[in-house]
A and B are shown apart, each in its own frame.
Chain A
Amino acid sequence: MAREWESVIGLEIHCQLDTKTKVWCGCSSDYDNSPENTHTCPICLGHPGALPKLNKKVLDYAIKAGFALNCDINKESKFDRKNYFYPDTPKNYQITQFDHPYAEGGHIDIKLSNGDDKRIGVTRIHIEEDAGKSIHAGEESFINFNRASMPLIEIVSEPDMRNSEEAYRYLNLVKDALKYTKISDVSMELGSLRCDANISVMQKGAKEFGTRVEVKNLNSFKGVARAIDYEISRQIEEIENGGEINQETRLWDEESQVTRVMRSKEEAMDYRFFPEPDLVRIVITDEQLERLEGEMPESKIAKIARFVTDYKISENDAETLSNSIELADYFEKTVASSNNSKLSCNWILTEVLRVLKDNNKTIEEFSINSEELGEIIKLIDKGAISSKIAKKLFEIKLNDERSPIKIVEDEKMAQVADTSEIEKMVVEVVANNPKLVEDYKVADEGRKPRVIKGLMGQVMKASKGKANPKMVMDILTEKLS
């Protein structure tokens, strides 16, 4: 008889903080294009006698992450040493926070596919240092210490997730929340966001969780979901075949899409944690908390809700606009200038995003500022230009310094709203299309609108798209009746 299974998933997310210097020393963190081991000093290389000193910005950024994930910030916390030998760990211990992290008890609400909300607990966030990078080349190994002592925060979730989809959504929302605070570029591709998953399975309704397996080396959002799916089915299969789950650490093999054993419980390390004697306790003042709270941006979730209410746009559109805080700002400024939120939303989601995507640019690099786009939209809204002309204007404006109004003037793009001029064009089209006119006259009510559209198209063409469509239609109907 087939049994029903339930899985339990917890995530540990490492996020590299985007401070200018490393966590314990003055080495620049901007090493991406630098030669190996050029962003190093006695401190981050673990030379004898060198001591760590906490970069105050790291604490500020970490606290913001705590706010973003709804955590309680502990006014006092401490650093500990996690001892283990590894060549890319210069001191052979990592400075981290063991039993007194600076942030605890947070949460993120995810949306399930049935539309329900589910709260995923954030157990804790702590500050720690990154290691260097080992490079293996045949028999030889090399180490690049440029990344050593880069500041990280580790975000540990409660085991609240039940499937890969929930984990995927949680991870995405954590990423969004962090990105909004501008403390990190949160990119899995660039390694500034890394994730490990703790996975266990148990029979549905069981009180105790199954044996936990930690899966490491997850370096894409899809990889996280796939590894979880794989690991759940592997564990179920193992138990159903009469086997047992071992408490172990496994690695996700992206190439063959399987997990492999890295370390068993017997080989588990004893990290010999103890309080870091070279650093004093972290003390966070009320003033610091107040200042940082003041610097916190509106959260993405709050922004989406506000956009839907204030601007009467769809939730989907609001979410797309809020994918980057800069795009959301651009939208709001465009609305302020255009006074038309729906049209602004449509233009940004279609035209602006298309141009950005084609040129692989961000909104901050976009050549038309929000005020100018607002001006274009205002011109459409007033009926000064047709939307077709507006698109032309937009294309010109992409590479033109002149204001939209100036371009419309210079290029004579304004709609023709002069009755006599339109009448002249209508008379001409009626005269040149006797067949269509005849066709219209004999057509039944159902066909009439189609025929008249054809005539109207001719008039619009004659006006090079500049004639006011409503006026054309009115005059045309009048002439034909």
Chain B
Amino acid sequence: MLYKHTATELSAMLKAKKITTVELINDIFDRIEKTESKLGSFTLLKKESALEEAKKVDEKIARGEELLPLEGIPIAIKDNMVSKGDLTTSASKILSNYEGIYDATVVKRLKDAGAIIIGKTNMDEFAMGSTTKSSYIKESKNPWDLERTPGGSSGGSASSVGGGQVPLSLGSDTGGSIRQPAAFCGLVGLKPTYGRVSRYGLMAFASSLDQIGPMGRSVEDVAALFNVIGGYDEMDATSMELEMPDFTMNLDGNVKGLKIGIPKEYFIDGLNPEIKKVTEEAIENFRKLGAEIVPISLPNTEFAPATYYIIAPAEASSNLARFDGVRYGYRASSYDGIEDMYIKTRSEGFGPEVKRRIMIGTYVLSAGYYDAYYKKAQKVRRLIKNDFEKAFNEVDVILTPATPGTSFKLTDKKTPVELYLEDIFTIPANLSGIPGLVIPAGKVDNLPVGVQLLGKAFDEATILKAGDAYEKAYTKMEIPEL
């Protein structure tokens, strides 16, 4: 039953020698064996190496040495983060045979911190999607209702934590890919400020939007994992040379006087009334905790999805060009010349969603359309960013719904555009580079609902503090029976 504990609790138990790391890892894998066929969270499981690492931690404990905060804690990482010697596929056929030849910076930091990587999690192919249905490998399921999606693209990371298979996981968020699945699975998910966590070793979807972040069952856990993976990395030119405070330090439950902005543009027609109700309750609860609620306006919000669906595919079309069958990965078995090899390899290797976005991206960057689409989108992006900068002159945090609705059925037929609108509340944070935290706020029809707290750039501390205060007062961490 160790799997029911948070990472922070487990760490304390290891330090107090109430459990051994090997016991913990065995318990985690027992849970995975019982639930994986239902959840489909993982693309790769590393029980053997995890147990080896666990033994080393136990030896350290036996020697009486001090453990690092996440030392011995099992962690799952999304399958678009490269780890040396492990299959790293981005859930794509084109990388179905690709073994990492180096460690992503986040992987290296986890290993250095003594955390135990237990496996790679399922995702939408190259992080494009909001259901995990675009994965070449499998579909992941929502632990609260196995007929429903855990969300995407970090769906496997969400179902593994939500289903109690692992206390913490890493996801990546380009337009909401950490926050939407966190909301669907009743988890805490943080998209840090752009430049806060190194992207070195993260298979790029849209370089100017992608950010790796932690997913967990408590704000404190998420903060602890963020502590380990964040901070300047010289391998990533866009990484910021700023100090990383200890984000677990000021989680004191106090939000008195905190100014929380409520943007009217986020309460749109498409918002499910039940979700609206939960969000309004959350606002009321924050007021009860002593926060000051301030109505604000983010006037360019409505343009965010259109802007995003130009910029993200544009960058993706270029980022995914390297998958050509020349140096690594899948290559078509027969072809006639190099041109044919490219076409067959990429036609066979990519799924429909990825192809759709590569085509959109190629189109918006092409001569004659660049100014009308890409350049214009960059201008609108600036306006959206300005909206936030202005708003944060008045408030400390902005509270919004996380998703327009609750998790939907995997069999639901939704058009690509309907699916794109799933990210409507999360996309603005990626376009502006600001941090966003999703916390559980309630349930509708036994399905979790999350709210989103947006913060100033590099001020993750404030949203984590607010999220933690809310969690301590109102949210009880749960793991559904499976």
Chain A interface (Cβ < 8 Å from any Cβ of B): 42, 45-54, 81, 83, 85, 87, 90-93, 141, 143, 270, 272-274, 277-280
- Tell me whether B215 is interfacial, beta carbon within 8 Å: no
Near A by CB (< 8 A), chain B positions 206-237 give 206-208, 234-237
Chain B hits for A81, CB < 8 A:
318
Q: Are A279 and B318 in contact (CB under 8 A)?
A: no
**Interchain CB contact (< 8 A) of A51 among B95, B237, B314, B370:** B237
CA distance A47 to B319 in the complex (A): 11
| Nearest CB on A from B161, distance (A) | 23
Which of B202, B207, B234, B321 has the most C-beta atoms of chain A within 10 angstroms of its own C-beta?
A: B321
**Interchain CB contact (< 8 A) of B322 among A90, A270, A280:** A90
| Nearest CB on B from A294, distance (A) | 28
Chain B hits for A52, CB < 8 A:
237
CA distance A277 to B374 in the complex (A): 13
Chain A hits for B338, CB < 8 A:
87, 141
Q: Are B321 and A280 in contact (CB under 8 A)?
A: no
Q: Please encode chain B, from 311 to 332, with 1 for each CB lying within 8 Å of some chain A CB and 0 for all others.
A: 0001101100111101110000
CA distance A279 to B199 in the complex (A): 12
Near A by CB (< 8 A), chain B positions 328-371 give 328, 338, 342, 362, 365-367, 370
Beyond the given A46-B327, A272-B367, could you list 6 further A-B residue pairs with CB under 8 A, ordered by the A residue number? A46-B322, A47-B102, A49-B202, A52-B237, A93-B321, A270-B367
Q: Are B315 and A51 in contact (CB under 8 A)?
A: no
**Interchain CB contact (< 8 A) of A92 among B80, B200, B236, B321:** B321
- Tell me whether B427 is interfacial, beta carbon within 8 Å: no
- Tell me whether B204 is interfacial, beta carbon within 8 Å: yes
Chain A hits for B321, CB < 8 A:
83, 85, 91-93
Q: Are B200 and A51 in contact (CB under 8 A)?
A: yes
- Tell me whether B401 is interfacial, beta carbon within 8 Å: no
Q: Are B362 and A272 in contact (CB under 8 A)?
A: yes
* A42 touching B101 in the complex, CB below 8 Å, given contacts A49-B204, A272-B318, A274-B318: yes
A to B contact number (C-beta, < 8 Å): 95
Chain A hits for B324, CB < 8 A:
85, 87, 92
CA distance A167 to B235 in the complex (A): 42
Return 20 A-B CB contacts under 8 Å, by A number: A45-B327, A47-B328, A48-B82, A48-B322, A48-B323, A49-B80, A49-B201, A50-B200, A51-B235, A51-B237, A53-B235, A83-B321, A85-B321, A93-B321, A141-B338, A274-B314, A274-B318, A277-B238, A278-B207, A279-B238
Chain B interface (Cβ < 8 Å from any Cβ of A): 80-82, 88, 90, 95, 98, 101-102, 104, 199-204, 206-208, 234-238, 314-315, 317-318, 321-324, 326-328, 338, 342, 362, 365-367, 370, 374
* A274 touching B365 in the complex, CB below 8 Å, given contacts A49-B203, A54-B237, A280-B237: yes
Q: Is the interface of A mostly helix, strand, loop or mixed?
A: loop
Q: Are A48 and B88 in contact (CB under 8 A)?
A: yes
Q: Are B237 and A42 in contact (CB under 8 A)?
A: no
| Nearest CB on B from A135, distance (A) | 14
Q: Are A83 and B202 in contact (CB under 8 A)?
A: no
Chain B hits for A93, CB < 8 A:
318, 321
Chain B hits for A91, CB < 8 A:
321-322
Q: Are A42 and B374 in contact (CB under 8 A)?
A: no
Which of A49, A87, A141 has the most C-beta atoms of chain B within 10 angstroms of its own C-beta?
A: A49
Q: Are B318 and A42 in contact (CB under 8 A)?
A: no
Q: Are B203 and A48 in contact (CB under 8 A)?
A: yes
What 7 A-B pairs come out closest when comparing CB atoms?
Answer: A92-B321, A277-B207, A272-B365, A277-B208, A49-B201, A48-B203, A49-B82
Q: Are A143 and B326 in contact (CB under 8 A)?
A: yes
Q: Are B208 and A92 in contact (CB under 8 A)?
A: no
Chain A hits for B203, CB < 8 A:
48-49
Q: Are B322 and A51 in contact (CB under 8 A)?
A: no
CA distance A83 to B365 in the complex (A): 10
CA distance A90 to B235 in the complex (A): 19
**Interchain CB contact (< 8 A) of A49 among B81, B234, B315:** B81
Chain A hits for B327, CB < 8 A:
45-47, 90
| Nearest CB on B from A365, distance (A) | 39
CA distance A42 to B200 in the complex (A): 11
Chain B hits for A83, CB < 8 A:
317-318, 321, 365
Which of A53, A90, A277, A280 has the most C-beta atoms of chain B within 10 angstroms of its own C-beta?
A: A277
CA distance A91 to B203 in the complex (A): 13
Chain B residue, CB-CB nearest to A271: B367
* A272 touching B90 in the complex, CB below 8 Å, given contacts A50-B200, A53-B235: no
| Nearest CB on A from B106, distance (A) | 10
CA distance A81 to B207 in the complex (A): 12
Chain A hits for B90, CB < 8 A:
48
Chain B hits for A277, CB < 8 A:
206-208, 238, 315
Chain B residue, CB-CB nearest to A84: B321
Which of B201, B326, B365, B366 has the most C-beta atoms of chain A within 10 angstroms of its own C-beta?
A: B326
CA distance A51 to B237 in the complex (A): 8
Chain B hits for A87, CB < 8 A:
324, 326, 338
CA distance A277 to B315 in the complex (A): 8
CA distance A83 to B318 in the complex (A): 7
Q: Are B101 and A47 in contact (CB under 8 A)?
A: yes
CA distance A81 to B362 in the complex (A): 13
CA distance A279 to B374 in the complex (A): 18
Chain B hits for A42, CB < 8 A:
101-102
Q: Are B374 and A274 in contact (CB under 8 A)?
A: yes
Q: Are B82 and A92 in contact (CB under 8 A)?
A: no
| Nearest CB on B from A269, distance (A) | 10
Chain B hits for A45, CB < 8 A:
327
Q: Are A85 and B207 in contact (CB under 8 A)?
A: no
Chain A hits for B101, CB < 8 A:
42, 47
Chain B hits for A90, CB < 8 A:
322, 327
